Structure 1
Amino acid sequence: MKVKNTIAAALAGLAGSFLISAAAVAAPQYTMKLTTTTTNDADVEWLKTLKQGIDEHSGGRIKVEIYPAGQLGSAPRTIEGVTMGTVEVALNASGFYEGLDPRFGALSATGIFDSMKQGDEVLNDPQIRQLLSTYGASKGFQVLSVFMHTPVAVVTTQPFKTLADIQGKKIRVPGSPLYLHTFKALGAAPLSTSLGEVLPAMQNGTIDGAVGGNTIFTSLKFYDVTKNLTFLPSTHIAVVAIINSQFLKTIGPDLAKVVKDAALKADEHIYTWAAQDSENARKIWEEHGGKSLKLDDADAKQFIKDASASADAVFAGHPKLLEDYKVFKAVAEKYRQK
C-alpha cells in the first residue's frame, strides 16, 4: 500500500509539473495593441482579421488587443505612440502620416487610384511595396499595410454637378496641403476643420460642404442634413497601418513573420470587404433619399488635370515626394483599364 501511495504521489507530482509547464508555454509572452480611431468599418475589419491570423499561428505567444473608436487617443497621438513604443500598431488615413514622412502625401493625390480594385492592385505591386517599406525607417516604425478604404466624395447643401457649382463655396477639406491647394485652384474657399464640426456647420450654413469618404458620410448620417453627394473622379482614401520597429525585433524573426504573414492575409480579405462596404454605404445613402452624383466627362477630366497640377505644385517642395509620386503614377498606369 505504501508503494502504491508513493507511486501515486509521484505521478501526481509529475502531472502537476506538466500542468505548470503547459500553463507557462500557453501564457502570452508579448502583448500587441492594435488601434484605430474608426468603428464598424474597413479599418476595424482589417484589425480583426490581423488578430485572427496572429492568434492562429503564434502559438499563444502574442496576446492581441484591439482598441477601435479612438480608445487609445486621437490619430496623431496613437501614431506617436507607435513611434515611442507604447502602441504596437496604428491604422489611419494616409494623410495623418505626412508629418512623419512627406512621402505619404503621394497616397492622397488625384489621378492615381481610379477605383478601389485598381487602387489595391497598385498598392500591392512589388515596386510600390518596396517603396513603402522604406517609409518610417528613421522614425521607429515600419509600414505593415496600405489599402483602399473608400472613394472620396463631397457632400454639399446645393447640388455639385459641374465645376462651376463649387465656385466660391466654403468647403471643409482634410488638413493636407494638397486638398487645400486643389480646391482653391478650383475656385472654392477651402478650410480645414475636424470632421466632428462639419454637421453643425452645414446645418447652420457656416460652410457649404465637406470632403470625405462616402462610407463616412453614410455612417454619420449626413443624409439628415443634405441629400447631395458627389463622387470625385480618380480620388480615394488609402489607409496605412504602421508597426513599431523595435517590437518586431523584440519578438524575433519567427513571430515577426507570423505578424507580417497575417497582415498579408488581412489585406487579401479587406480588398473585397472594403469595396463592398463602400457600395453598401452608397445604397444606404440612396435609401435615405440621398443622391449619388458624378461630374460629366469633360468636368471630370478638368478636375483631374487641376488636381494633378496642384500635386505637382505642392510636391515640388519635397523632391523625394515628387520622385515617389512619379513612381506611383507610372505603376498606376500599368493597372489602368484602356
Structure 2
Amino acid sequence: MQFLKAKKLVCAVVAAGALGLGAVLPSGQAQAQQQTYLMKISTPTVHDIPNVWIDGYAAMLEKDSGGRIKVQVFPASQLGSIPRQIEGTQFGSIQCVQIPPEFMVGLDARFQLLAAPGLVDSEIEGQRLVANPAVRKLMLGLGADKGLHGLSVWYATPNVLISRTPLHDVADFKGKKVRVFASPFQTVAFERLGITPVAMSLGDVLPALQQGAIDGSITGIGPIVKFHMIDAAKYVTEINQPSIFIIEEVNQKWYEALPKDLQQLVDSDAAKEDAAIAPMAGKMADEYLQEWKAAGGTLIKLSPAEHAKMMKILAGVGTEVSSKTPTLAVAYKIVSQAAKHAAASK
C-alpha cells in the first residue's frame, strides 16, 4: 500500500513537470524565473558611439534573458544632467548610467584615473589599457561602497576641442574659457595651457557656446556632430588628449535583487559588448569627422611640433594631481604602469 502511494506521488510530480506546471520548483525559485526586471539606462549622448554600445547590449541582454530583463534607454540626458543621472543610479530610480568615469570623481577621486593626459596615445593603447585585469578590477570596484556595481569600462575616442575661433597652436589656447570634464586631472592640465577650465555637463555645452559663456569645449567628435554644435562654433582642433573612456554603473541593490543567472548575464553580456564595440569606435569617429567637414565645419590638426609642445606642458599632470591623495597615488601607479605596458605591447 505504501509502495502504491509513493508510486502515485512520483507519477503526479512527473506529470506536473511534463505539463510545465513547475510543481517541482520551490515557490520562490519559480517566482524568480517568471519575474520581469526593468533596466532603465541613462546616458548624456545621442546617436553616438556610447549609444551603439547600449543598443547592442540591450538587444543581447533581452534575448539572452528570455525577456526577463526589459531595457529602456534614455539618451541625451532625458533623465537629468549628468550629476542627476549618477544620483538616480545610486538611489535606484535609474538602474544603469553610462558616462565618462571622471564625472563620478565626487564619489571617489579614483574615478578620474583614465582622464590623465598622456596616459594613452592611440585607440589600440586605450583598448589594451582597460583590458588589463588590474585596471578593470580597480575601475569596476570603485562604486561598491557608494551603492553602485561596476558593469563595464571601455575606450571610446580621443578628445577634440570645438571652439568659436580657430586654435592652430598652443599659444592660441591662452585666455580661452573651455568646458572640461569634472576632474582635477583635466582642470590642472588645461590651466597649464593658459585655459580657464569650466566643468560642465554635456547638455549645457551648446547653449553655453551660443551665449558666449565659454569659448570652447573638449568632447568627442560624436556629440559635436550629433548635437549640431556647428550652429554655435565652427572650429574643431584635434588635440587627442586626454582620451575618453566610458563606464557603465548599475544600482547595486537592483543588481543584488536579480537571480544569480541574471546577474551573470548582466555582467557577461556587458563584457561581450565591450569586445563588439572596440573595432567600431575608431571607424565611427572617423565618419563623424567627415560629417563635420561636410557640414561646413573646419578641422584643425596641430603640427607635430605644436603637439609635442603641448604634451611637454602636460607631462607630469597625473603624478602631480595623484600625489595629493595617498589612495589616488597608489591607484594612479597601477593605471600608469598598465598604460606603459599597453604602449610597449606589439
For normalisation by structure 1, the TM-score amounts to 0.85
Shift of 1:29: 3.3
Q: Take 1:331 and 1:286, find their aligned partners in 2: how far apart are those partners? A: 36
Residue identity opposite 1:231 in structure 2: E
Match of 2:128 in 1: 121
Residue 176 (structure 1) aligns with? 183
The answer on 1:36 being equivalent to 2:43 is yes
Does the C-alpha gap of structure 1 residues 74 and 136 become closer, same or farther in structure 2, counting only changes over 3 Å?
same
| Offset of residue 303 of structure 1 | 2.1
* Alignment counterpart, residue 336 of structure 1, candidates 318, 323, 343: 343
Shift of 1:193: 4.2
Deviation (angstroms), 1:19: 8.8
Tell me how many residue pairs correspond in the alignment: 324
What residue number does 2:237 align with?
230
Match for 1:322: what amino acid? Answer: A
| Aligned-partner Cα distance in 2 for 1:225–1:37 | 19
Give the root-mean-square deviation of aligned CA atoms: 2.8
Q: Cα distance 1:61–1:332, how it changes in 2: closer, same or farther (>3 A)?
A: same
Name the SS of the counterpart of 1:138 in structure 2: helix
Distance (whole Å) between structure 2 residues aligned to residue 105 and residue 20 of structure 1: 51
Partner of 2:318: 311
Q: Residues 180 and 199 of structure 2 are in contact (CA less than 8 Å); yes or no, is this contact kept in structure 1?
A: yes
Select the residue among 42, 52, 72 that pairs with 2:79: 72
Deviation at 1:53? 1.8
Residue among 109, 115, 118 paired with 1:102: 109
User: Which of residues 251, 254, 264 in structure 1 aligns to 2:261?
Assistant: 254
Aligned partners of 1:94 and 1:237 also within 8 Å: no
Instruction: Indicate conservation of the 8 Å contact 1:135/1:143, yes or no.
Output: yes
Equivalent in the alignment of 1:165:
172
Ranges in structure 2 where 5+ consecutive residues have no aligned partner? 1-14, 23-30
- 1:140 maps onto 2:147 in alignment: yes
1:53 aligns with 60
1: distance between equivalents of 2:229 and 2:143?
Answer: 36
Give the C-alpha shift of residue 291 in structure 1: 2.7
Indicate the larger mover: 249-258 or 306-315: 306-315
Runs in 1 of length 4+ with deviation above 6 angstroms?
Answer: none
Same amino acid, percent of matched pairs: 33
CA distance in 2, matches of 1:97, 1:109: 15
Residue 218 of structure 2 is matched in structure 1 by 211
Tell me if the contact between 1:218 and 1:281 (Cα under 8 Å) persists in the aligned partners: yes
Measured at CA, do residues 261 and 151 of structure 1 come closer, stay the same or move farther in structure 2, by a change above 3 Å? same
- TM-score normalised to structure 2 length: 0.83
8 Å Cα contact 1:233-1:303 kept in structure 2: no
Tell me if structure 2 keeps the 8 A contact 1:54–1:62. yes
Give ranges in structure 1 of 5+ residues lacking alignment. 1-13
Per-residue displacement from partner, 1:270-306 (whole Å, max 9, x unpaired)?
A: 1122222211110111112323222222332332233
